[in-house]
Amino acid sequence: MTAQYYFDRAAEARRDADAASLANVRERCLRSEAAFLDMASRAERGAKMRARLEAEKSAALITEQEDRAFSPPV
């Protein structure tokens, strides 16, 4: 799931909380909102980590290929 999905669910939970007439329902919706915001934050961190690792792997592969191209055969 993407961070945007979790942000959308958090917004939906907030709307439900604002529309709730019962305190326990409002509190439940606010807890849901907080949980979805936490999941969105985790999803964003995970996506950034994956992108960083992918970039590092690509850079390492390019460096390895360049090293092979410039080193004499043994």
Domain segments of the chain as ranges: 3-70
pLDDT given for residue 74 in this prediction = 65
Give 72 or 68, the one with higher predicted confidence.
68
Give whole-number Cα distances, 45 to 38, 48, 67, in Å: 11, 5, 33
CA atoms within 13 A on the CB side of 6: 15
| Structure-block tokens of residue 72 | 């004499």
Distance CA(35)–CA(38), nearest Å, equals 5
Give 73 or 38, the one with higher predicted confidence.
38
Residues 2-60: pLDDT tens digits? 999 999 999 999 999 999 999 999 999 999 999 999 999 999 999 999 999 999 999 88
